[in-house]
């Protein structure tokens, strides 16, 4: 396995990611209790051992940020005794191979139809411009270590743009590969993106680029994010483009902030989460609307999932395109944007497509 150094800082906070590659024993411990964050396409940060849940990040170790969607966790930071930077291919080669299958129960389409009508009613009353309800497929039992290994092997071969993430222990966890960056802070600039508007990959580009509903949805998200980060410094917006990732295509616009002051990780999360790509617009009442529109608690679905390194650089994803589990059940979640021009049949088909893509990405 390739052990890749990650811009280590100097001094007492030197990044504890150097030394020999993880051993087979380390990998076994990682599959039992560990965490993963794709720092780039060719280097993942993995951690293992019993984690400490903390209210603040550790200044001397890589700190994983894993709150729930509703931000109810009082100690959202996870710090592990061991960490390493590895290549995805190298990690995949160390994963045990054992095949099994899961039976998934589809989401309740009648409940989603009722939510669809509720959102359209709220929109006509002027209370909402957009909402993203979440639905879940279910499967019995926790995600076993062998299934985690299979998912990790699958994620090592995913298309560029899907960013693996996760954490787990004996009580449960989450694992996925998100296309959506909430933010990246490299110490010089802050990067974020608007990703909204979805279609099956393979169609003509103008099918989504010229679709009024998809363009409106994307504009709502883009304008919201721009407004949220404008107080941090000078904002530069890129061009909106079609982004193909595996089975799906999205509209994507990159944004870059040159900050006028130092901005803390928590401040960026507060400013950006939840964007209307996973919440509601206007966002002010998201804490009221999300539980009202969802028919089960989101848990970690669409929550921020981040990594802060001792040198102060950080990345944070939106935890979508993944599964979460406890000792009794495993769930696969997806959401879709409902706004003017939305059609029930089309949105239901989009949810099915996203769920199938997620299970396929993870080999589940």
In a domain, 2, yes or no: no
The string of pLDDT tens digits covering residues 253-304 is 999 999 999 999 999 999 999 999 999 999 999 999 999 999 999 999 999 9
In a domain, 207, yes or no: yes
In a domain, 313, yes or no: yes
Please tell me the predicted confidence (pLDDT) of residue 19: 58
In a domain, 1, yes or no: no
Beta strand pairing call for 43-48 and 82-86 = antiparallel
Mean pLDDT for the chain overall: 92
Q: How confident is the model at residue 63 (pLDDT cuts 50, 70, 90)?
A: very high
Please tell me the predicted confidence (pLDDT) of residue 100: 80
The string of pLDDT tens digits covering residues 4-51 is 333 433 333 334 565 577 899 999 999 999 999 999 999 999 999 999
Q: Report the CATH number that the domain containing residue 98 is assigned in CATH.
A: 3.60.120.10
Percent of the chain with pLDDT over 70: 93
In a domain, 3, yes or no: no
Strands of the sheet with 34-40, listed across from one edge = 82-86, 43-48, 34-40, 163-169, 172-178, 322-326, 329-335, 134-140
Q: What is the pTM of this model?
A: 0.93
End-to-end CA distance of the chain: 25
Please tell me the predicted confidence (pLDDT) of residue 147: 97
In a domain, 15, yes or no: yes
Looking at the chain, list the stretches that DSSP marks H as alpha helix, in order from N- to C-terminal side: 24-32, 88-93, 109-124, 145-155, 206-209, 212-229, 265-272, 286-293, 344-361
Q: How confident is the model at residue 2 (pLDDT cuts 50, 70, 90)?
A: very low
In a domain, 321, yes or no: yes
In a domain, 22, yes or no: yes
Please tell me the predicted confidence (pLDDT) of residue 162: 95
Please tell me the predicted confidence (pLDDT) of residue 18: 54
Q: How confident is the model at residue 206 (pLDDT cuts 50, 70, 90)?
A: low
Q: Which of 194-208, 227-241, 289-303 has the lowest mean pLDDT?
A: 194-208
**Residue 37: domain span:** 11-361
Please tell me the predicted confidence (pLDDT) of residue 13: 34
Residue 337 has pLDDT above 70, yes or no: yes
Residue 201 has pLDDT above 80, yes or no: no
The angle subtended at Cα 73 by Cα 70 and Cα 78, nearest 5°, is 125
The string of pLDDT tens digits covering residues 81-112 is 999 999 999 999 999 888 888 999 999 999 99
**How many folded domains does the chain comprise?**
1
Interacting residues of 185 by C-beta distance below 8 A, sequence separation 6+: 191, 263, 265, 268, 312, 313, 314, 315
């Amino acid at each position: 396995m390739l052990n890749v150094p990650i811009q280590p800082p100097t001094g007492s906070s030197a990044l504890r990611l150097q030394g020999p590659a993880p051993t087979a024993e380390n990998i076994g411990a990682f599959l039992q209790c560990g965490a993963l964050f794709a720092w780039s396409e060719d280097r993942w940060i993995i951690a293992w051992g019993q984690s400490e849940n903390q209210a603040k990040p550790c200044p001397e170790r890589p700190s994983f940020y894993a709150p729930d969607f509703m931000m109810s966790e009082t100690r959202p930071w996870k710090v592990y005794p061991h960490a390493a930077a590895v290549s995805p291919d190298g990690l995949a080669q160390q994963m045990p191979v054992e095949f099994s299958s899961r039976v998934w129960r589809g989401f309740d389409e009648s409940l989603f139809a009722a939510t669809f009508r509720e959102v359209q009613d709220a929109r006509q009353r002027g209370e909402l411009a957009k909402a993203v309800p979440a639905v879940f497929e279910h499967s019995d039992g926790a995600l076993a270590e062998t299934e985690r290994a299979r998912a990790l092997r699958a994620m090592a071969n995913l298309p560029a743009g899907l960013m693996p993430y996760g954490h787990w222990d004996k009580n449960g966890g989450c694992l996925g590969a998100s296309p959506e960056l909430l933010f990246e802070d490299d110490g010089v600039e802050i990067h974020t993106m608007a990703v909204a508007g979805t279609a099956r990959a393979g169609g003509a580009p103008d099918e989504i680029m010229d679709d009024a509903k998809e363009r409106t949805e994307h504009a709502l998200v883009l304008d919201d994010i721009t407004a949220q980060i404008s107080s941090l410094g000078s904002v530069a917006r890129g061009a909106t483009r079609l982004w193909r990732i595996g089975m799906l295509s999205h509209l994507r616009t990159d944004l870059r902030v040159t900050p006028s002051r130092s901005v803390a990780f928590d401040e960026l999360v507060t400013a950006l989460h939840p964007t209307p790509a996973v919440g509601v617009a206007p966002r002010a009442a998201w804490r009221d609307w999300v539980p009202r529109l969802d028919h089960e608690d989101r848990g970690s679905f669409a929550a921020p999932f981040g990594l802060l390194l001792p040198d102060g650089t950080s990345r944070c994803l939106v935890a979508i395109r993944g599964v979460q589990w406890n000792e009794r059940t495993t769930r696969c979640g997806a959401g879709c944007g409902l706004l003017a021009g939305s059609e029930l049949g089309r949105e239901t088909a989009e949810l099915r497509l996203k769920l199938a893509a997620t299970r396929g990405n993870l080999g589940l």
